[in-house]
Amino acid sequence: MIARLAWRNLWRNKERSLLMITAVAIAVCAMLFMVAMTRGFMQGILDSGIHNLPGHIQAHANRYLDDPSIDHRFTLTSASLQNVLTNANIEHWSQRVKVPAVVQSEYASQGVTLLGIEPEREPQDPRLGYKIVAGKNLSSDSAGILIGERLAEKLETELGKRIVLMTQSAEGGLAERGYRIVGIYQTTFAAREEGEVYLALEQSQTLLGVDDQISELAIFTSDDSDLERLQTELQTKLGSYIDVLRWDQIDEYLGASMKTMSGFVFIIVAVVFLTLSFALVNTLIMAIFERTPEIGLLLALGLRPKAVVLALTLESMVMIGLGLILGNVLAQFILLGFKDGVDLSSVAEGLAMAGASPYLSAQLRLSDWLTTNVLVLILGLLTSWWPARRAARLDPIEALQKT
């Protein structure tokens, strides 16, 4: 009967209840949309950080991160490689040589990072702004070099011309060799376009005289929710002379930013709902004010105050629940439109400065969805309980006399 009473009371003032349900729905939809877009923005930054070559997990020889020279290199035995590859969570992996170098053209020279890569294993995501603007991408048998468009401009060179690459060899001497430019790439990240040049892995190993040794092993996973377990597993398999680190340990700033933004998202959600809660409290107070004699009657007839609190809270929670359902459905429809991302390349430079991709896509995790809905229900319960409790404390006689 309490539930029936709550349901019927809800529809006593249809306009007001519908308005409140709509307000809750819009607020919930706005919250979910905001969470999804913020999560998408964060994911964009994360993808840029992880997929612009680095990887979810990296392995280096001890001390490489303090001194990223060719002195700190390692070899992957085939057995350990097999072990790595058998892990179901690993989407793909790649070996790299990564050392500081200098490139020189006929007109200028520039300090860069030389990356010897396995091109087929390093898919460059065009959604992260990477594209070949002249020539072609590297392949494993390429003998040439791939450089960024900005670097080409600095060096006053172009596709097909030769540039000289100088770096420290494995023996400590100068390794120097001329390479023909086979491709020029463009990305939204200016620093990368100016500062990274690419050779096929074998070419770089030959230049440095390191046989099959590498500086870096990058692991990409399909599920980044349990990286710690994978990290531990890999560390055990690769041995103690290798440092296995997660992306948030390698780029601590990025890791901290992600955590901060995650927390910030839910602060926004709480603020939006707290604003809405004023309207909710007001609606319930109005409903109680209008029904004061009735509440007095129920109390006079022997209904316990707890039952009055239950009836009024239930009424409010039904209203919030309906708004919540409507808001979720609405948000799902809206977010479908943003699933493939919005092309923000017109402001790509600004996004690149923030480390984000020029494509902004909506991403809503199950945990985000659950947290938002649970937060709304908890806050709704709290904001409903207060006026309901006030009503339950009414003096039945005074309440009955208010007509």
* Binding footprint of another protein on the chain (CB under 8 A): 1, 4-5, 8-9, 12, 293-294, 297-305, 307, 396-397, 400, 403
Least distance from another protein to the Cβ atom of residue 325, Å: 23
Cβ(204)–Cβ(97) below 8 Å: yes
What's the rounded Cα separation, in Å, for the pair 378 and 385? 10
Q: Encoding tokens for residue 78? A: 């085939």
Toward another protein, which CB reaches closer, 88 or 301? Answer: 301
Toward another protein, which CB reaches closer, 270 or 300? Answer: 300
CA-wise closest residue to 54 among 258, 246, 255: 246
Toward another protein, which CB reaches closer, 68 or 293? Answer: 293
Least distance from another protein to the Cβ atom of residue 286, Å: 16
Burial class (CB in 10 A: 0-12, 13-18, 19+), 247: buried
Toward another protein, which CB reaches closer, 40 or 296? Answer: 296
Least distance from another protein to the Cβ atom of residue 305, Å: 7
Note the helical H segments in 86-213.
Answer: 149-155, 190-195, 201-208
What's the rounded Cα separation, in Å, for the pair 235 and 244? 6
Note the helical H segments in 209-251.
Answer: 227-238, 247-250
User: Any idea which residue has 């949309």 for tokens?
Assistant: 33
Least distance from another protein to the Cβ atom of residue 12, Å: 6
**Residues β-bridged to residue 246:** 57
- Tell me the Ramachandran region of residue 290: left when phi exceeds 0, alpha when psi lies from -120 to 50, beta otherwise: alpha
Toward another protein, which CB reaches closer, 100 or 293? Answer: 293
What's the rounded Cα separation, in Å, for the pair 51 and 219? 10
Least distance from another protein to the Cβ atom of residue 386, Å: 20
CA-wise closest residue to 376 among 316, 312, 320: 320
Toward another protein, which CB reaches closer, 6 or 276? Answer: 6
Toward another protein, which CB reaches closer, 156 or 398? Answer: 398
**Residues β-bridged to residue 59:** 217, 244
